Amino acid sequence: MRLALDTNVLAYAEGVNGTTNRKAALDLITRLSDADTFIPVQVLGELFHVLVRKVGRKPQHARIAILTWQDTFPLVETSSNVLLSASDLATEHHLHIWDSVVMAAAAASGCRLLLSEDLQEGFTWGGVTVTNPFAAIKHELLSVLLGS
C-alpha cells in the first residue's frame, strides 16, 4: 500500500519538537517500505523552511536534510495537474493551498494514506485518507501496514 509523508513527520525525525517526537518519527519511518512511501516535493520545501526559519539551522544543513530525504523515498513532483487539483481541493474544502498540494500530490501518486499530524484525521479525498501516525489509536490501514 502506498502512502505519503507530511512535513511534520520529517520535521520530527529531524529533531524538531524534542527527542520523544524524534524517536517516534524515526521508529515509524524505519517500519515503512522505501518503495511505497512517497514525499511530495512541497513537503521538502516546507521542511527546509521549518529547519531554517523556525529551528535556526544553517541553510547548508537544511539542504543536506532535504537531500537525505530525497534519497530515502521517491518524490512526487508538483505538476500542473497536481496544482490544479490542489486548487479545486482548497476551494471545495476550504483547506490551505499548500496542504492541498500535499494531498493532491499523494493522490496523484496513488497513495491510500497521508501521514500527518496537522490535517483532519480521517479526511478522505482522491482516494487518500489523512491519518495521524502518532495518535494512540492508529488508523486501521496504518495498523495493518505496520503489523500492529
User: Can you tell me the distance from the alpha carbon of 6 to that of 26, in angstroms, rounded to the nearest whole number?
Assistant: 14
118: left (phi over 0), alpha (psi -120 to 50) or beta: alpha
The confidence score (pLDDT) of residue 147 equals: 85
Q: What digits encode the pLDDT tens for the residues 16-46?
A: 989 999 999 999 999 999 999 999 999 999 9
Residue in 41, 4, 31 with CA at minimum distance from that of residue 128 = 4
User: Can you tell me the distance from the alpha carbon of 38 to that of 82, in angstroms, rounded to the nearest whole number?
Assistant: 15
Specify the pTM: 0.95
Q: What digits encode the pLDDT tens for the residues 125-145?
A: 999 999 999 999 999 999 998
The confidence score (pLDDT) of residue 148 equals: 67
CATH number of the CATH domain containing 83: 3.40.50.1010
Q: What digits encode the pLDDT tens for the residues 115-127?
A: 999 899 999 999 9
Domain that holds residue 20: 3-146
Mean pLDDT calculated for residue range 55-71: 97
Domains in the chain: how many in total?
A: 1
